Structure 1
């Protein structure tokens, strides 16, 4: 409740936010839109009113994009002079749906699948194949297989750009014809697909078809590095901290995944040919197996760290949709690890021990089948990852429903012979319900000579008197919006008789953020 209309309303978030076209709208109580302008800088949104408004309730609807690329939104109501009944204001439209569309998840899956297979096969050709001339034919085959993987990666990453625009801005497909839609996207949404395209393109052009030399091998490694680093510069890693460490760990996670998945695909493609010639198949596989074991260790450590930093707590693995998908991913990785262990400790020794060509060929055939099965499980892992990328790690909420917290604040004040329990639910920043329940010494509902009056304030902020509504004998409640955490003083005033009006205060400690 304000005595005069403010010239602007400032929202301060706990992380950087990005503005979207027509994301901020202001309405009066009749549903008439009030002229306004908005500016976003770092973690602050400023909404300026551009016309005079009379007494009554105003509603500010806001929709933004968080630092990790997820849409966020809501509404703020305040009154000037006196409150008024709000009608026909589309407050539900401001609540952002954090569920990414199915097509975006599929596009992400294709992008990551093509990236890890293309980069991994290219790295395998440089790092693991023998230098002898007989391996040149194998390199030619691998180069031919890298091309389709690169195409899948490029199509997947670029197809995600318009889908991200529709998801973040909350608009229909017709908005793709507007320049404002494309300009509203963060620069990273264009830079990442471009870096993936250029990096994989360089790796393919430099991929060796003859015995490797240092210059071309360096170009392959450079191209793969550029392509694998780019995805870590956007998404959840931008919002998790410490940011530099999280991004670095995510890069290691992607490189290890490329070496593992791309190497498995390459082994499945060329092991049969190498094993049929001599023992070079066993040599290549032994070399790759050592690297794969290291990659697996990096994946486990890096994945555990990222899960902790992005989910925010281990409890979130069970309490959120993001955590549930992450657990599915962990179980699939565990299955892939089990197959990898079987290959390394059972099938590979048989290939090494084979002395005759027929024995090597049979052992290689078994190993190829189990290797492709392992790769198939990793493809399923990437499918889950594709949907994890654009899913908010926060608690799941339904449209128009405030985020729930696990606790409420409760204190009791004595107003002469009447006990009044003050409850704030939920106990956190944002919308909440303040309830006052009054009882007499016998525990029965009690009423005063007049309805109670309640006000809320801190040392820095005074929300004034809360408009209470009678919910039944001795029970009153009102809606409030707490802008900050801290110690909120709740002052309760009750005229118990014609001449007595006790005033008591309690303090509710509101946490700085919501669960």
Structure 2
């Protein structure tokens, strides 16, 4: 039984490491808003340069000047660096005048309404497609080292909140005597330090997390000022202010409250701490609700208070569980009545979690297909499974609690407390008796020496008083040995109770599952909700269908290698979707004049479905112009169009182009 404490720490370290691996292996924060449309559309070929590029998202986003960059074929900026909110979740950036023909790259990096960064890029062409030298940054928004540190700080902030709120509630509502227990005091205090430190880290990392991805930008005071003007920055600052009030609550709970002896005064102080602590806890929980998932999407006015209730229920359950683990393993005097009270609190918390979680699941997932077909839905299923296991283990803890409550487990703890108290009194009495004896011996020796005649007096050696340096050191050593023996005897008595040992094991198992559950919950906050993902997919599909409702135009250069063997071939497919299409092929020389080559052939291949090549032999109808009617595209997909151009009896070449059709 002496190895229980090391085993406890080893198990907790393993669980924390597993959770860290889970978080570390997760992908960077997914976009919680999605690009659903653009003008010009992705891959489109327009005849002339548009005045501006428009981007439409699935929800409102935070965008500043420079959030959208348009790069010309040479990789130079083609926009004016000014973005405009056009309404209906659509934003625009104006383009410069006199732009060249070719392929342009649009790169964007914005922040969704629920505080997560979004980045992406697409291309469109003016006149005809071309090669491009545009280079996009390799750093993904919310990824890299900054993303890992930000996710760790997010996890620690949840953990700190749970320990502060749940631990304080456990002491105040279930075990008031725990306010004077040092291990419980440390648990709640460490929770406050963790929450405060992680909140500061989130505030400093916010700018590089949503921007450049460079860790050095965390110390840029200018960018920190910009963060303070955002919704997330305001929420983090509000959390720090509320944590100052939480520090006062902790100081009173473990100071004045613990020292109160008068029952009426203690009752009044309990009421005041309960009201103040509840207000502070609600305020801290609201800093998450006002800045993340609950603040966006449908029914935000209902979702935010529901999210606050959900967070408070999690803290009351898991934070109280952590305090109970500490009480059971680090003390021997936790009363059965405190365990019974927490059991009722945990049951009420589970009921609240089930109700609020059901609503949140419906709101964030929206459909059965999203529950199994999206990352958010799959993580939610994992979370539900962990909660079910946690509730099952909690039911075992309730049974152990019932056995302790029957009286079988009370004696050892009470006996240990009595033994320790008696031993302390005995040690104090012995120390006082030894000191009195030493003083008496010294006085008698002096008296005897004074009564002898002066001529016959001999030097009298008086024993050194017991209060000397050596005896003081020996007394202190003896006291430490006695205290250690008392502690060991107390631990043996405590561990001899099978009911309390069983409760400790089951509660420790609950705590381990809770650590992993917290990791999954944190991952959920950085994953795109299933409802949003499906809506974005539908909007993107509709945009793609609309894009392909017009003629498809492709321009490809060729070189057969012979004399007069260079040129370009332009392919037009009308209406450019599944079913029957009209095909037009135009061949031109490098100077732009029509090029009447001996032969042109076209084929279509859908490699993903192992379909094709489907050959087409267009008819020559004019100089440099071939056409074919009724070209069948049997299904939508990324088709490879192969064009064979023969410029002489022996010189020919086949050029390929991939494009989405249908």
TM-score by length of 1: 0.72
The Cα offsets for residues 391-440 of structure 1, whole Å up to 9 and x where unpaired, read as: 3346999xxxxx99699xxxxxxxxxxxxxxxxxx843259995999xxx
Distance 1:21 1:120, change over 3 A: farther
The equivalences for 1:328-367 within 5 A come to 328-344=382-398, 346-354=399-407, 357-358=411-412, 362=497, 363-367=499-503
- 2:520 is matched with which residue: 379, 384, 387? 384
Verify: 1:118 aligned to 2:171, yes or no: no
Deviation at 1:119, TM superposition (A): 0.8
Higher CA-based Rg: 2
Distance 1:46 1:260 in 2: 47
Question: Do the aligned partners of 2:55 and 2:91 also contact (CA within 8 Å) in 1?
Answer: yes
SS of aligned partner of 1:63? strand
User: What RMSD, in angstroms, separates the aligned Cα atoms of the two structures?
Assistant: 4.4
Question: Do the aligned partners of 2:583 and 2:628 also contact (CA within 8 Å) in 1?
Answer: no
Distance 1:35 1:188, change over 3 A: closer
Distance 1:466 1:253 in 2: 60
- 1:197 is matched with which residue: 227, 240, 249? 240
Distance 1:153 1:297 in 2: 26
Distance 1:313 1:182, change over 3 A: farther
Question: Do the aligned partners of 1:329 and 1:384 also contact (CA within 8 Å) in 2?
Answer: yes
The Cα offsets for residues 291-341 of structure 1, whole Å up to 9 and x where unpaired, read as: 211111221232233233223433334333333333332222222111111
Deviation at 1:61, TM superposition (A): 2.1
- 1:256 is matched with which residue: 297, 308, 313? 313
Verify: 1:233 aligned to 2:286, yes or no: no
Deviation at 1:224, TM superposition (A): 1.6
Question: Do the aligned partners of 2:74 and 2:132 also contact (CA within 8 Å) in 1?
Answer: yes
Distance 2:111 2:300 in 1: 18
- 1:49 is matched with which residue: 80, 92, 95? 95
Distance 1:497 1:385 in 2: 64
- 2:190 is matched with which residue: 143, 148, 157? 148
Question: Do the aligned partners of 1:38 and 1:45 also contact (CA within 8 Å) in 2?
Answer: no
The equivalences for 1:481-500 within 5 A come to 498=621
Deviation at 1:353, TM superposition (A): 0.8
The Cα offsets for residues 339-360 of structure 1, whole Å up to 9 and x where unpaired, read as: 111111x201111111651288
Question: Do the aligned partners of 1:72 and 1:98 also contact (CA within 8 Å) in 2?
Answer: no
Distance 1:217 1:176 in 2: 38
Distance 1:149 1:10, change over 3 A: same
Q: Which residue of 1 aligns with 2:542?
A: 428
Q: Which residue of 1 aligns with 2:230?
A: 187
Distance 2:181 2:242 in 1: 19
Distance 2:169 2:584 in 1: 67
Q: Which residue of 2 aligns with 1:454?
A: 574
Verify: 1:33 aligned to 2:87, yes or no: no
Distance 1:469 1:353 in 2: 93
Count of residue pairs the alignment pairs up: 441
The Cα offsets for residues 348-402 of structure 1, whole Å up to 9 and x where unpaired, read as: 11111116512886233432332232122212211222333223346999xxxxx
Q: Which residue of 2 aligns with 1:173?
A: 215
The equivalences for 1:438-449 within 5 A come to none
Structure 1: gaps spanning 5 or more residues = 398-402, 408-425, 438-449, 458-464, 478-493, 510-515
Distance 1:178 1:467 in 2: 57
Distance 1:466 1:150, change over 3 A: farther
Verify: 1:87 aligned to 2:132, yes or no: yes
Distance 1:339 1:359 in 2: 24
Distance 1:267 1:39 in 2: 54
Structure 2: gaps spanning 5 or more residues = 1-44, 261-265, 415-493, 553-569, 588-599, 607-616, 637-662
SS of aligned partner of 1:428? helix
Question: Do the aligned partners of 1:107 and 1:159 also contact (CA within 8 Å) in 2?
Answer: yes
Distance 1:230 1:58 in 2: 41
Question: Do the aligned partners of 2:141 and 2:213 also contact (CA within 8 Å) in 1?
Answer: no
Deviation at 1:273, TM superposition (A): 9.6
Distance 2:139 2:153 in 1: 27
Distance 2:157 2:584 in 1: 53
SS of aligned partner of 2:130? coil
Question: Do the aligned partners of 1:38 and 1:47 also contact (CA within 8 Å) in 2?
Answer: yes
Q: Which has the larger displacement, 311-320 or 61-70?
A: 311-320
The Cα offsets for residues 95-119 of structure 1, whole Å up to 9 and x where unpaired, read as: 7577983322222111111101111
Distance 1:169 1:430 in 2: 29
Q: Which residue of 2 aligns with 1:219?
A: 276
Q: Which has the larger displacement, 322-331 or 243-252?
A: 322-331
SS of aligned partner of 2:111? strand
- 1:306 is matched with which residue: 344, 348, 360? 360
Distance 1:61 1:282, change over 3 A: same
Verify: 1:288 aligned to 2:342, yes or no: yes
Verify: 1:104 aligned to 2:150, yes or no: yes
SS of aligned partner of 1:261? helix
Question: Do the aligned partners of 2:183 and 2:330 also contact (CA within 8 Å) in 1?
Answer: no
SS of aligned partner of 1:429? helix
Distance 1:454 1:120 in 2: 66
SS of aligned partner of 2:272? helix
SS of aligned partner of 2:151? helix
Question: Do the aligned partners of 1:20 and 1:169 also contact (CA within 8 Å) in 2?
Answer: no
Distance 1:340 1:246 in 2: 28
Q: Relative to total residues, which structure has the larger helix share, 1 or 2?
A: 2
Distance 1:201 1:264 in 2: 25
Distance 1:268 1:84, change over 3 A: closer
Distance 2:584 2:274 in 1: 72
